[in-house]
Structure formats: structure tokens, C-alpha cells
Amino acid sequence: MGKRIVIALGGNALGNNLPEQMKAVKITARAIVDLIEDGNEVVICHGNGPQVGMIQNAMAELTRSDPKKYIPCPLSVCVAMSQGYIGYDLQNAMREEMLDRGIPIGAATVLTQVEVDPEDLAFSHPTKPIGPFMSEEEARALEKERDYHVMEDAGRGWRRVVASPEPKAIVEIDTIRSLVETDHVVVACGGGGIPVFRTEGHHLKGAAAVIDKDFAAAVLAKQLDADLLIILTAVEKVSIHFGKPDQQDLDILTPEQAKQYIAAGEFAPGSMLPKVEAALSFAESKPGRKSLITLLEKARDGINGKTGTIVVNS
């Protein structure tokens, strides 16, 4: 029996710019279609850190060049733009790969809104990296020129950071579910979804934030009653004492162990920590649910228990 799987794609699966993305999605599609070929239902959630930063920077330059003609573009709108152009490449790559293998399944991107709480404390403490890596000097200059919040990102360089509120619910969940149940591969919650909150009546207002795509994928997986959440990243397994002589790779991670390691600071914020927290959230939500953290190219082996880190409720 196939499984219903929600996949959270890391940024390394999409590249950092349009030419890189067009090449990367072909490799990504091959790995995901392997899972579809095995009889699984697949929904894809992806990151957008480089892309949404690029879009907002471009919009800011337009506004600066002619403020009478161009107005500032809200971050929520930039997230929507990134969903469209990433989804366009990803669904086409998926469609082409499936047709090449004779798999009669459609592919569709759903422009997805994700509800957040306007009182979430995250709005007072921006932590989510977006945009390209840069030197500390470049980051400090943007801090002064554009009033950005910046921080060093897990030893990889400096980046702009924005609020990252907790996702509460997927607004278009019924549409996504209908597509899955009619044999479609669905790209949804791109970039963690367009963050919105409810105002008067039925109006949804965009929030100046970016939702972590791993947490959004966990919420999506819960609402779809998925069997498995796969979080794809740049390492084959989750490790403790990462980068040290006594580094230990983990095959299985129970909720009790995960909470102990999180409390001990074993996982880097903005890097492995949200992945473990999201995997834990889904695995604990219902008996029988599991999460897998591994490399894109190892996803099939991970499902078959050959590699990766499985987070399971003991």
C-alpha cells in the first residue's frame, strides 16, 4: 500500500536564482517521481528564502528609482509571487518526468494562504532568514539604509531576518485535498505559505512575515491526515555534536530524545532545529505517524528504512 506523503523541500533543491532553479527542479523531480512510481500520494511544500528576498529587493529598487510610479511591495505579496514562479518550474518538471515514465497523474500548484495569529510574539522578535548570504559589512549597511533586521546564519554568513509566526491552519486545505484525491501531485504552502490573519468578517489580511516551511509542512501533513512527513535537507541524517570529533548520526529519534537534545542546544537555530521540531510535531500528533529527515536523493531509501533519521512516537 502506498503512503500519503508531504515533502518539505530544502533550499538546496531549488537553487539560488532562476537559471539554477530551472536545472535543480529537474533533479528534484526525478527523486520525487521515484516515490510516486512506488505508489505514494505526494504533496510538496518548498522553501523560498533566496527567492522571496530577491523579489523584495527588486521591488525596493523600483520604488527607490521612481517612488511616484512604484509603491513598496508587502512581504506577503512577495511570498505569493515566489509561490507562483517556483511552482511554475516545479510542476512542469514533475509533469515532464511523470509523462516520460508513463505515469498518468496531473501536477498543480495551489497559491496557498496560511493563517497566523497577529498577536504571535514572533512579530516582535524577527528570526527567519531570507534573501542571499552576505558579509557582516553588507548586512550592517542594509540595517542602516533599509531598517532591516540582520543576523549571522548558522556559520554560513549574514542574512536579513523577518518575523516567523507559527502556522495555525491552511486556508486552501479543501482544494489541496480534492486535488490529491483526484490523482494530482500538488505543490502547496510554498515558502511556508502566504501568512494571513483574519480581520472583520471573512477578510484575510497579509502579514509582514515568512512562515518556516517545515512547520507549515507539518500543519499541512496533519490536516491532510498524511502517513509520513519527509523533510529534505543538506545532510543524510540528523546528528548530535555536529561538526565535532564525537559527532553521532541518529537513525531513530523518539520524542523524548528529541526534547532532551533540543533542551541541550544540539540543533542549530535556523538550520536543523526547526526541522527536528516540525518532525516531532507531526510524529506526536497521532499514533502511526512518522517523520523522516534526510537528503533529497536518499528519500526513497529513507522510506524503505535504509537511511535517514526517523522521528517516531515510541
Residue 283 and residue 259 in one domain? yes
* Domain shared by 101 and 43, yes or no: yes
Mean pLDDT of 278-290: 95
Q: Which amino acid is at 145?
A: E
Residue 185, domain member (yes or no): yes
Q: How many domains does the chain have?
A: 2
Q: Name the catalytic one among 128, 222, 237, 290.
A: 128
What are the pLDDT digits (tens) for 65-79?
888 888 878 889 999
Q: Specify whether 240 is located in the same domain as 284.
A: yes
Q: Which of 10, 11, 49, 308 is catalytic?
A: 11
Please give the pLDDT value at position 109: 98
Distance separating alpha carbons of residues 21 and 25, to the nearest angstrom:
6
Q: Residue 168 catalytic? A: no
pLDDT value of residue 133: 81
Tell me whether residue 171 is in a domain. Answer: yes
Catalytic status, residue 128: yes
Which CATH number fits the domain that encloses residue 217?
3.40.1160.10
- CA gap 298, 68 in Å, rounded: 51
Residue 199 pLDDT class (50, 70, 90 cuts)? very high
Residue 140, in any domain of the structure: no
Rounded average pLDDT over 49-72 = 83
31 and 113: one domain? Answer: yes
In a domain, 160, yes or no: no
Distance CA 312, CA 305 (A): 13
Within-domain flag for 25: yes
60 shares its domain with 186: yes
> In the chain, which ranges are continuous DSSP H helix?
18-37, 49-65, 75-100, 136-146, 173-181, 213-223, 255-263, 272-284, 299-303
* Pair 260, 222 in one domain: no
Question: Tens digit of pLDDT for each residue in 222-237?
Answer: 999 999 999 999 899 9
| Structural domain boundaries, residue 110 | 1-119+166-203+211-226
Q: Check residue 11 and give its pLDDT.
A: 66
pLDDT at residue 4 greater than cutoff 70: yes
275 counts as catalytic: yes
pLDDT of residue 12: 62
Task: Say which of 10, 15, 49, 213 is annotated catalytic.
Answer: 213
Mark whether 72 and 196 lie in a shared domain. Answer: yes
Confidence of residue 260 (pLDDT cuts 50, 70, 90): very high
Does one domain contain both 7 and 85? yes
Q: pLDDT-based confidence at 1, cuts 50/70/90? A: low
Say if 153 falls within a structural domain.
Answer: no
Same domain (yes/no): 221, 250:
no
Least confident of 102-106, 257-261, 267-271: 267-271
12, 16, 92, 313: which is the annotated catalytic residue? 12
Same domain (yes/no): 76, 222: yes
Verify whether residue 306 is a known catalytic residue: no
Same structural domain, 34 and 103: yes
Average pLDDT over residues 105-134: 91
Residue from 49, 87, 131, 275 carrying the catalytic annotation? 275
Tell me the whole-structure pTM to 2 decimals. 0.90
3-state secondary structure of 206: strand
Residues 36 and 175 in one domain: yes
Would you say residue 145 lies in a domain?
A: no
Is the pLDDT at 131 greater than 80? The verdict is: no
Would you say residue 174 lies in a domain?
A: yes
Across the chain, what does the average pLDDT equal?
92
